[in-house]
Structure 1
């Protein structure tokens, strides 16, 4: 099974993927952003746009996830924002055509909730480093509310652990119990956030 976690930038995709991974033995996190970062690094900075516009990214995502899904015995957890219906068809749609059981979830929240989450990301609180995410937020939320991006999970009032449990229940996956206390949970979430800070 491939569990694709869609949603706005700052919507909780990565935290939810790692929470599922922690409580789902045998699972693996496969982040398509890294394919995009690799393509960007192969290009002069002035030519870098949205890597999703590159056919190489869309083809690469399908090839990598198809390969891993064939060889890895456990569920794959894929945190990736895709809001263009054409690109959605070329990634999620093609994986389904290849015979993979792709469960897609759009993690949604109100604009103010996402902005608050974005401002708290990284080592330096604030929205200065999140200009790309903020600029695309409204279009992203609007697009993902469309029926083709269901299943929708509204996360405003849900902590990460509950979002993961709701996704797992819908996908028919059985999670280990959540035994973390509040302090350990905050530290773990902070570590996941720091590991995913972009410096380029």
Structure 2
């Protein structure tokens, strides 16, 4: 199975996903951003759109990479990755479904003011204009489709550890119910 941790840039997906992985026995972390970074390294001459997700190979490569890693490693994959474009999510989730891979889709949410504050005061990466550009895009996706497609974990007033506890509890309860 895949536990997909979605949400906008700067909301805490990577940190939370590492903690989720620690709480799920037999799980592995797979950051789909690495697929995009590989495309950026291989294809520096591709027209830059501002986001590697816009390149057609990225989405099927994410599906294939996840499938192959699951076949190789087994267990559960925890995948932190922002996907705010509905057709992109449909392509990825549909591709995984075609392989019979179940996906638990979570969205880490924080209100726009909290997001902006976190981005501007990030002690590791520092302020990021790239991340700030996605605050409004995330809000639009959340209203239009994203929150209806996922289990929302509101992180406005909680930290990554509590968010990870909530996600892991849902996944573990689901597994024990089977």
Q: TM-score range by the shorter chain?
A: 0.7 to 0.9
The range that moved more, 34-43 or 98-107, is 34-43
How far apart, CA to CA, are the structure 2 residues paired with 1:8 and 1:105? 12
Bigger shift: residues 6-15 or 133-142: 133-142
Deviations 1:132-172 (A, max 9, x none): 11112111122034344321111111111110111112222
Kindly indicate whether the alpha-carbon contact (under 8 Å) linking 1:5 and 1:107 is maintained by their aligned counterparts in 2: yes
Q: 1:91 and 2:89 equivalent?
A: no
Query: In the comparison of the two structures, how many residue pairs are matched?
Result: 171
User: Is there any run of 5+ residues in structure 2 with no aligned partner, and where?
Assistant: none
**Superposition CA RMSD, Å:** 2.0
Does residue 141 in structure 1 map to residue 142 in structure 2?
A: no
SS in 2 for 1:83: coil
Contact 1:106–1:149 at 8 Å: present in 2 too? Answer: no
Please report how far the alpha carbon of residue 27 of structure 1 lies from its aligned counterpart in structure 2 after TM superposition.
Answer: 1.3
Find the counterpart in structure 2 of residue 78 from structure 1: 79
Q: Which 10-residue stretch deviates more, 39-48 or 29-38? A: 39-48
Residue segments in structure 1 that go unaligned for 5+ positions in a row: 175-200
Q: Residue 108 of structure 1 contacts residue 141 of structure 1 at CA under 8 Å; is this kept in 2? A: no
Correspondences of 1:1-200 after superposition (within 5 Å): 1-44=1-44, 47-49=47-49, 50-121=51-122, 123=124, 125=126, 127=127, 130-145=128-143, 146=145, 147-172=147-172
1:99, CA displacement in angstroms?
A: 0.6
